[in-house]
Each structure stands twice: as C-alpha cells, then as structure tokens.
Amino acid sequence: MLQATPLTEGWILRTSDGMADALPASVPGCVHTDLLAAGVIPDPFLGRNETDVAWVGRRDWTYETDLRTGSDHERTDLVFEGLDTVAEVLLDGRVLGRTRNMHRSYRFDVTGRSGRLSVRFLSAYAEAEAVRGALGERPAAYDEPFQYVRKMACSFGWDWGPTLVTAGMWRPVRLEQWSTARIARVRPLVTVEQGVGVVELAVDVERTRVAEPLTVEATVAGERVRAAVDGTRGVVRLEVAAPRLWWPRGYGEQPLYDVELTLLHGDSALDVWRRRVGFRSVELDRSADEHGTGFTFAVNGERLFARGVNWIPDDVFPSRITRERYRERLTQAADAGVDLVRVWGGGIYESADFYDVCDELGLLVWQDFPFACAAYPEEQPLRGEVEAEARENVVRLMPHPSLVLWNGNNENLWGFRDWGWEERLAGASWGEGYYLGVLPRVVAELDPTRPYTAGSPWSGSWDHHPNDPAHGTHHSWEVWNREDYAAYRREVPRFMAEFGWQAPPALATLRRALPGEELAADSPGMLHHQKADDGNGKLRRGLERHFGYPDGDFDRWHYLTQVNQARAVATGIEHWRANWPVCAGTVLWQLNDCWPVTSWAAIDGDGREKPLYHELRRLYADRLLTVQGRVLAVVNQGAEAWAGVARLRRMTVAGAVLGEAEVEFAAGARAVARVDVPEALLPAGPAEFLVADADGVRASHFPAPDREIPYPRPEFDVTVAPDGSVTVAARGLVRDLLLQADRLHPDARADRGLVTLLPGEQVTIGVSGWKTPDTDAARAALYCMEPSR
C-alpha cells in the first residue's frame, strides 16, 4: 500500500543576500509568517507596517531540510501540493525541477536519493517583470504586474487588500512511497439518471511494472464494482437506486455518500482514493425571453433565486486558513441566509476543506478561474500553465456537489470593451482565448456535469455589451462610485453578480489594527487601511446625501457609515428580490476580508460582524416584505405558500398613527406577490413613514433622506440581565438602533444589528462574551438616529 509521510519538521529559511542567519520555518507556511514568527518583521496588519515589509516580496528565499528516503518500496515521490510561486527544487544541489504556478501541485521522483533538500523561491516580481518584458505590456486595473505570473492576484494588493507578495510552500509537502502502481488521478462524474444515482470513476494509473495485471474496485452506498485496468486507465460505473438528493440550504437536506476506490494487484491493495459525493443535478437557464437573456440556477429541477456573497481569500497569507476557520466563516454565511458563495477570480482555488464545508452546509459554490481585472497574455510560458492548472483543479473539485458553476474570469471581458483596453492592446492577446477557448474546452472534456460561463459580467456573447443588465450577469459599480444607492432601483438585472457599499470595520478591530492612534476618518492609519480609490471621499458623499456630515465626531461617523452600508445593500436586494423571477440572484460584494480594512465586507478582517451582516439575515430570509413605491412586495422563497393579512400603518416620527389598514396577500411557493398600498396610507412628507407587518415580518418605508426628517430626540429605557442580554424599551420612535457590542468588550458579540422600534415596542439583544454586564456601559454602546445637528 502506498505510504505517505508529511514533511513538516526541520525546515529552515534563508534569504539570498545573507541578510540574517537561517530561521526556523513552518511548512505549510510562507516567508512572511516565518519572518513574523521569528520577530524579523512587524505584523504587517498593524498600523502602516505593510509598507515597512514591502522588501520581503522583492527578495529571493530558500527553504531547506534534510531528506531521508530509505524504503522497501520501488518508488519514492516528493510531492508538493502548492508552491508559491516561482521555485527551483534541488536535492544535494541537483535540480529536480522548476515551477512557476501557485495553483498547481508538483511531483518529483527521488527514489533511492537522500540529502539536503532545497526549495529556492525567486521573487514573483522578478518573474512577472521578466514575462512582461518578453511578452509586452498589458493593461490592468492596478499597477502591480499580477497578470504575468500564475499566482494569487490579490497578494499584489487590491482595493481592499494589502500588497504582501508571498513566497513559500503554502500547501502540504510529503513523501509518497509505493510499489507496482499508484492512483494518479480519479475523475468522478456524478449524475442522476431517471431517479438512479450514477457514479462513474475514470482512473489514471502510474506504474513501475507495465505488465502486471491490475484491477480497481469501487464502493458507494453498499454497491461494489470491479473493473480491469487497461494499461494505465480504467473506468468503474456504480449505480445507486433512488438516492437521497443533495439540496442547497433551505431547499432540502445535504446527504453525502462515501465513495472509495482501491487499486489492486491480485488481492493486494496498492492505493486507495476516498471522497464524499452528493447526488443532484444542476442547470443554468440562459434562454432568451421578453426581458432579455436569463441566468437562473436550477438544482434538481428547482429554479431558485440565488442569495449570494462574493468570497475573497480569508487571509492574505492563505496558509494560515484552517478547516476550523473555513467552517466558522462559512457558517456565518449560512446563518445569514446565504445559499451561494462565489469564489472570486483574484484569489485561489480554495482547499478541499472549503468545499467540504460548503457540501455539508448546503452552500452552492460558483468557482471563478483565477483571472481578474487585467488583460492576460496568452503566449508561453503562461498558456501551458493555464491549461495545466485548469485540468488539475477541475478534476480536484469535481466530487463536490456544492460546486455548481465554472466561471472564466472576473471583469476582463467587460474591461476589454469599456476600460480602454482594446485600443491599448492594438491586437495583442489579452485572455479571450482562455475564456472562450481553453477553459470551456477543458470543462466540457473533464466536467460536462456543470455549466460554464465565460466571465462575470458577461451577456453570453459579443452580440450584447458584456455588462448589459438585460443579459446574463451584471456588476453594478457606478452606484458606489458616483451615485446614490437609490439608483439601484433603476434596473432589474437578470443576475446581479457584484454590487456593494463600503463601511469601516468594528471599533475593536480598528483599535487592534491601529494601536495608539487617535481615530479619525482621515487619521494616518485609517487612510492606510482604506485601499479604494477615493474611498473616504465616496463614503463622505454617500453620507452627505442622507445625513449631516459628522465632522470631528469619529464615533458618529463610524455608526453612520455602517448604517449607510446596510441601507444601501438593503435598497438593492429588496428591489431585486421583489422582481423575481426576472432577476434570479444577488451576490453581494463581499462576505469577508483578508485583513483589517475599510471595505465592502459584511464580516471584517478580525471576523466581527458589521451591521450589514445582520441586515443580510433579514434580506436573505425566506420571507421578506418591502415597500417599492406604491406597492408592498411580499417575497416568499419558502417551499410553502404564504398567505395572510398585512397591517399597514402611516405614522409620524412623533409617534402618531395617521391611518391604517389591513390588506390581504397570497404569495405562492418561491414566488412574489404585489399588493397596492392604499393612497391614503402613502407618506405625505418627511415627517411621515409607512410600516407594514405580517407574520412577524416588517417593512419600514421612510420616503425622505434622514437630514430632512424631523426626528424627535430618541427616548428609551435600558435594562441588562445577568446573562448580558440588553433590553431596550422605546418611549418614542427609535430608528436604526445599534448595540456595538465590541465597545463592551473586544470579545463581545450581539445577536442582531440595526433595529427600528415604534413607540411602546422593545427588543432584547443577546450578548455573548461580555464578562461584566453593566447598564451604563450598555447605554453608552447604543447608537441610533438623532435630530439633525
């Protein structure tokens, strides 16, 4: 049987210029984390240390250890699951091989050889600049040369991320020792055919002895099948009668089946491959209709409105992301009502742990190939690397039922058409051949069970503008960059794949990241941890459209920017969900952050939930009420019909009820009902608003910007229970009440975000991690809308 031995011990790190003695190294890991552990560099996440460690990405680095390969097996392989990125692998000074792709694994024959193992990493900058010099300049959204090397693009910085260009063995390293033959690759096709679950395993075998007869035996759900290996290939087909179907969360359960395939020589097991699979079908309806060209997911024949989030690498140093951290972050997504996670193209193909958790939680995965916001050369050495990485990762990720879409790139087709690239390229290659040629061919050959789309945004062909909202996927960034978020209501895209609004992270996150700094919107550390072009200017203009700008009051600025983020996203999602099935999904930019930063994320770089996160729980719930102009939209994504009576009240901010009515509604399963609001209940001015309630679901509609609303001074009573829960009882209107739990203790978390209370109402906010409950502290941590200053 194949024997695998992890190589995690005894590694040291050296720099090429003799800067320091050898340092102990962790594998998996990277240069930055090793230097940080040794105290050579400061934490780049704190203050402005990022700029002080920029030199690390410009150096060459070498990892070394002693390798002992003695074994009774016929063959010994040295296996690297991931090398970041440009490396030369040597054993006792003799070159085993060279690499230039972070997204691939590598295997070297070291049979009978022992000695000093060295892995020398060339600066990714040096490689990228050399390729750029050979192939010519290509345009990109950022000045860094990320498109010239097959590496996580956002390690070169992004409009939410630091520039920390890593190197190292970022995924596990091991020795594999084996005899006769081993399993080189298993390509699982999992389908449902007329109610029967089918698992077809195409097996590639590597041999040391060509003539030996081999067989493969596979099992799933009690079924067992054997097949002969013809040379180096074999195929096993198993059928499972009436399998339990895997469903997205909210639509059913997520049963997973263990599949095991064993390579046999006679009755002796040589190698084994194990995975979990789920039986389900997935289709992407892109048919034309009277509204344009659709983009609707259907799982097991059930059409769904995708409640999505965009996912970036959860740490700029991906080797630090553990299975537990994936589970925590993805569970946060599921708890917010999310059912689709898009793995964005400026990052990585995530580890198996990520997809395993998505399988278990019922989170659909949209997987970008790693191309983003740039023109990518199609010549060698990049072209061969692109196809090799695509082939490896398509097969690696195929077992996961959560994976429902392969996407060719992020914004590159749009960039070619709208960002001046076409003129600057003057006929040079830019990636179209990847997105419309190489990648769809690879997916069609290896994974025909899943749909492929050339990019996001993409209208389906060059017959339409790539970002035409009426065709395919759409990205909405004009709103954040130049307009008020009310502009989201102008369009009904077929699928909103990116949109969002910025806000700073939690106060405790800022205090940890900016130690000793007197916080202000434009303090040095705050500006350094704001990577978006004119990000603070856009935050300011966004506030000025709705509130009086709180000059000199950081706490108020912090609260209002977080309120504005939640309201902006709510404006979009409510509108688009109300227009299902024309619009078939929203994918918020973004769920998470890779470091502490002001960004579009719902969960900040320290894992703390912003108010937006809690707002998502309302926006992505199965049942949603929203007032759209003169209409109450009753959105029902549940499996059962929702019928009842909605209570509508026209009120003044002083608390008077000017009129009320009860209106009947009936929304079918996975459907939207629209009910006219009686004319007499429509607010007549900035001092009035409309409230709709049905079955514990509420919609509040304030027709005027806050700066025009004559809010009374908020009056409420606060009590704190021994368990730390905080109850707020309103004596008048209290709009957008927020308990910032991290002001009570850095470890404290609240179980809800913004809440609006009418006179006489109360809310109890659960608080965990608060060690010394105190009423005065709770009151000081509460914020809400106040009269304009």
788 pLDDT band, cuts 50/70/90, is confident
Looking at the whole model, is its pTM more than 0.95?
A: yes
- Please, what is the Cα angle at 248 between 245 and 251, to 5 degrees? 80
- The distance between the two most distant Cα atoms of the chain, rounded to a whole number of Å, is 90
In this structure, are 517 and 370 located in the same domain? yes
In this structure, are 308 and 420 located in the same domain? yes
In this structure, are 644 and 680 located in the same domain? yes
Rounded to 10 degrees, the C-alpha dihedral 664/667/668/669 comes to -130
Question: Is residue 306 included in any domain, yes or no?
Answer: yes
Domain boundary among 591, 621, 651: 621
In 3D space, the residue among 552, 492, 496 whose CA is nearest the CA of residue 519 turns out to be: 552
Tokens, residue 89: 């692998």
Question: Is residue 788 included in any domain, yes or no?
Answer: no
Relative to beta strand 181-193, strand 196-207 is antiparallel
Total domains present in the chain = 5
Active centre residues (catalytic): 411
The per-residue pLDDT for 17 is 67
In this structure, are 498 and 602 located in the same domain? yes
pLDDT for residue 19 is more than 60: no
In this structure, are 230 and 104 located in the same domain? no
In this structure, are 599 and 502 located in the same domain? yes
Question: Is residue 681 included in any domain, yes or no?
Answer: yes
The per-residue pLDDT for 71 is 82
Once rounded to an integer, what is the mean pLDDT over residues 205-211?
A: 91
Query: DSSP letters along 352-395, please?
Result: HHHHHHHHHHT-EEEEE-S-BSB----STTHHHHHHHHHHHHHH
Domain boundary among 675, 708, 741: 708
614 pLDDT band, cuts 50/70/90, is very high
Indicate the range of 66-75, 306-315, 475-484, 758-767 predicted with least confidence: 66-75
Tokens, residue 528: 């350094």
pLDDT for residue 308 is more than 90: yes
Intra-chain end-to-end CA distance of the chain, in Å: 75
Beta bridge partners of 226: 217
Question: Is residue 197 included in any domain, yes or no?
Answer: yes
Cα distance between residue 468 and residue 464, in whole Å: 7
70 pLDDT band, cuts 50/70/90, is confident
In this structure, are 62 and 94 located in the same domain? yes
Rounded to 10 degrees, the C-alpha dihedral 676/677/682/686 comes to -90
Question: Is residue 731 included in any domain, yes or no?
Answer: yes
Question: Is residue 283 included in any domain, yes or no?
Answer: no
pLDDT for residue 195 is more than 60: yes
| Beta-carbon contacts of residue 498 (< 8 Å; ≥ 6 apart) | 310, 456, 457, 475, 476, 477, 587, 589
Instruction: Estimate the crossing angle of helix 554-578 against helix 611-619, to 10 degrees.
Output: 20
Q: Identify the CATH number of the domain in which residue 405 sits.
A: 3.20.20.80
In this structure, are 46 and 148 located in the same domain? yes
Name the burial class of residue 55, with classes exposed (0-12), middle (13-18) and buried (19+) by CB atoms within 10 angstroms of its CB.
exposed
Write out the residue range of the structural domain in which residue 244 sits.
180-277
Tokens, residue 211: 């003539």
20 pLDDT band, cuts 50/70/90, is low
In this structure, are 367 and 500 located in the same domain? yes
In this structure, are 69 and 193 located in the same domain? no
Q: What is the DSSP letter of 609?
A: B
Q: Identify the CATH number of the domain in which residue 637 sits.
A: 2.60.40.10
Query: DSSP letters along 269-299, please?
Result: EEEEEEEEE-B--EEEE--EETTEE--EEEE
The per-residue pLDDT for 209 is 87
Q: Given CA atoms 312, 315, 319, 324 in this order, what sign does their dihedral have?
A: negative
Give yes or no for a contact between 318 and 167, defined as CB atoms under 8 angstroms apart.
no
pLDDT for residue 18 is more than 60: no
For residue 439, the number of C-alpha atoms closer than 13 Å in the C-beta half-sphere is: 27
**Helix, strand, coil abundance in the chain, percent, nearest 5:** 25, 35, 45
360 pLDDT band, cuts 50/70/90, is very high
Collapsed DSSP state (helix, strand, coil) of residue 28: coil
The per-residue pLDDT for 789 is 64
Cα distance between residue 335 and residue 174, in whole Å: 37
The whole-chain average pLDDT of the chain stands at: 97
Percent of the chain with pLDDT over 70: 99
Q: Given CA atoms 66, 71, 74, 80 in this order, what sign does their dihedral have?
A: negative
Kindly report whether the peptide bond that precedes residue 6 is cis, defined as omega within 30 degrees of 0: no
In this structure, are 671 and 722 located in the same domain? no
Domain boundary among 176, 207, 230: 176
In 3D space, the residue among 159, 265, 279 whose CA is nearest the CA of residue 212 turns out to be: 265
Question: Is residue 351 included in any domain, yes or no?
Answer: yes
In this structure, are 471 and 401 located in the same domain? yes
Question: Is residue 789 included in any domain, yes or no?
Answer: no
Relative to beta strand 726-730, strand 716-720 is antiparallel
pLDDT tens for each residue of 617-660: 999 999 999 999 999 999 999 999 999 999 999 999 999 999 99
Percent of the chain with pLDDT over 90: 97
